[in-house]
Structure 1
């Protein structure tokens, strides 16, 4: 049972009141405006897909609606985000399934289940990669792919970390109290090493430059890796 404060309680709530549509596009860039899209995942027709840290499940809803997968599982540990996703997209069942669960716990119960797993600044950013990445490899079928977008540097401009340590970033409890949460903002070579240690091969990284300038804009890393056959 998840007993820690839900630090995602406020996130996305304003948008959910004004935009209830299934997004027409899928983007990996931090701005969500430009750059590569769902084609990075490959042909999803008839495949089982998992969104790790799905939030309000907008990306998952897009895939379920526009890319003919057998099923997309949208997984999020936040009760508030899961409730928001349910309110917005429960009508897409059974092609879209919504799970209120910790990503690692969910994947551990489903070895060799998924053809593709992905995270768009989601659970990969907010879970110790030494726990998540090996579990993700086990949850993929042979030749299954993990694809994720993650920050290439901290939002305040500080460089990504060369070692596997988290950064404490500001957060707010449901009662508007200031606190922090852990985020892993790691260098490209650190991600590559971790993925190799987790059993992945064919590891590739691309830098997605910010398309706008200003506070809290960021470059992103788009990372792809494959579970061997």
Structure 2
């Protein structure tokens, strides 16, 4: 991360100042107000769970407190997000472990360490899937599960891409300057093809319609896959 602007510096700062509670619910949708919950992850009792691109670790904190895993590891490459997560939920250690790292480097150090991996508009969106998904497969134990929610189309309505190509989206530097970052917004069949190529099986996709209207409304693509036993 040295020499690279933290483009997540501003994200969630206002909420962190007013809301320090462990969330009472877990949502996959873009609007974070509906759809299925953590049941898609399976029974987490005694399991080791990884949140890839955890941000402020609100989803991870919910799982750690309410679903009796052995451990939830909240991984994020942003120093600002790591700092916010530590400030909000560091007291939940050791059940919640907050890690400052890119998802791919972390997964490369964790072969066969996880029962479940998930991403809620997190690292799966912002990391080349041809690098991330094979690393995720290797980090899962046989029979392990990957679940992620991502955009079903670009915010604003442009369709998802038909190949594994990133889009450039607006971002802000810590000093408020303008920048861009890469985001992978892919059609369901493209995600399925990359998952298959990474060694996953039992791949499922579902579109969850937006619950509201407006320029920031978007449908959610929910994806599940398994490492073979």
Instruction: Please tell me the TM-score bracket, short chain as reference.
Output: over 0.9
Matches within 5 A, 1:180-199: 180-199=180-199
Unpaired segments of 5 or more residues in structure 2? none
Instruction: Tell me which residue corresponds to 2:154.
Output: 154
CA contact (8 A) 1:119 1:148 kept: yes
1:2/1:77 contact within 8 Å kept: no
Q: Distance in 2 between matches of 1:148 and 1:221?
A: 8
1:3 is displaced (CA, Å) by 3.2
Measured in 2, the distance between the counterparts of 1:27 and 1:3 equals 34
The alpha carbon displacement at 1:83 in A equals 0.1
Aligned to 2:23: 23
> Does residue 34 of the first structure (1) align with residue 34 of the second (2)?
yes
Residue 49 of structure 1 pairs with residue 45 of structure 2: no
Unaligned runs of at least 5 residues, structure 1:
none
- Whole-angstrom CA distance in 1 between matches of 2:67 and 2:34: 19
Distance 1:3 1:33 in 2: 37
Task: Give the secondary structure class of the aligned counterpart of 1:86.
Answer: helix
Matched, 1:67 2:36: no
Alignment partner, residue 205 of structure 1: 205
**Equivalent in the alignment of 2:8:** 8
Q: Are residues 49 and 2 of structure 1, via their aligned partners in 2, closer, same or farther at CA, if it must alter by over 3 Å?
A: farther
Contact 1:119 1:147 in 2 (8 A): yes
* 2:126 paired residue number: 126
Match of 2:137 in 1: 137
Distance in 2 between residues matched to 1:55 and 1:171, nearest whole Å: 15
Partners in 2 of 1:70 and 1:89 — Cα distance? 16
Question: CA deviation digits over 1:152-198, x for unaligned, max 9?
Answer: 00001100000000000000000101010000000000000000000
TM-score (norm 2): 0.99
Task: Return the TM-score normalized by structure 1.
Answer: 0.99
Residue equivalent to 2:113 = 113
**Aligned-pair distance for 1:203?**
0.2
Runs of 4+ in structure 1 over 6 Å off:
none
Q: C-alpha deviations, 1:66-94, integer Å up to 9, x for none?
A: 00000000000000000000000000000
- Computed over aligned residues only, the root mean square deviation of the Cα atoms, in angstroms, reads 0.6
Residue 24 of structure 1 aligns to a residue in which SS? coil
